[in-house]
Amino acid sequence: MPAHTHSPVNTTLRPALAGSWWWGFAVYAVVSLVHVVLLAVDSDLAYPTKLALMPALALAAMWALRGTRWGAPHSVLLMALALSWLGDGAAFFFPFFDDELPIMLLTFGLAHACYIALFWRYLAERPLPRWSAGYAVWWIVLVLVLWPLLGSLAVGVAIYGLVLGGTAVAATRCDPAVVVGALFFLASDTLLAFDIFVAGAPDILGVAVMVTYTIGQGLIAFGAVRFLRGRMPR
């Protein structure tokens, strides 16, 4: 992957965010905590609160970005969150599919494509670090371990893994919050793969999937906001 970007590397200090910028992220954190707790106790309300996650995060980002001139990165960020929302609610939004997994792979794959474009084109602060090659090792090991269990979904899952890994690689050029957030997102989908395809996976794995997912998405949005507040004209 080439190391050049369409936007100049940012070497200036960012101004502080407005005093109330964090309110939306606090609401998102509360919604995430409520969802994880309800999921852990197997409540019927776990799924409705799952559908509230990405709208809450999108509102948090929009609130924090108020006062900046709307641009392409704002739209790409919200598109990634919207596609993630469709993936979260695949069974709800696409009830005519017998199996929600393929549509989940598609919608989240498109969300990751948006994130890759956002990170690489608009949020990059530094060249690609050498250690990012470690994500290639992650993909190879994951595919080798899971391939015998994937059946007809093997190729689709392998391609999705490439896109997921691409998100993590692109994130390494960005704000530290984005780097860590992408790592949590990758951990979430890795755990999800084992939860879905490995027989006898413990129930707690599903809770771990959502803990890492909510943290990952939240940190990515926070890092994007922090960068854009310092770069976009007011």
DSSP string covering 83-122, please? HHHHHHTHHHH-TT-S-HHHHHHHHHHHHHHHHHHIIIII
Instruction: Find the mean pLDDT for residues 2-16.
Output: 43
How many CA atoms, within 13 angstroms, populate the side-chain half-sphere of residue 207?
13
Q: Where are the chain's structural domains?
A: 70-231
**Nearest-angstrom CA–CA distance, 36 and 178:** 22
Going by pLDDT thresholds of 50, 70 and 90, the confidence category of residue 21 is confident
| Cα 98 to Cα 19, 47, 79, distances in angstroms | 47, 18, 26
Name the pTM for this structure: 0.88
Angle at 160 between CA 220 and CA 44, to 5 degrees: 70
pLDDT in tens, 137-172: 999 999 999 999 998 889 999 999 999 999 999 999
Q: What is the pLDDT of residues 33-86, one digit of tens each?
A: 999 999 999 999 999 999 999 999 999 999 999 888 899 999 999 999 999 999
Q: For residue 19, what pLDDT band results from cuts at 50, 70 and 90?
A: low
Residue-wise pLDDT tens digits, 87-129: 999 999 999 988 898 999 999 999 999 999 999 999 999 999 9
234 pLDDT band, cuts 50/70/90, is very low
pLDDT averaged over every residue in the chain: 90
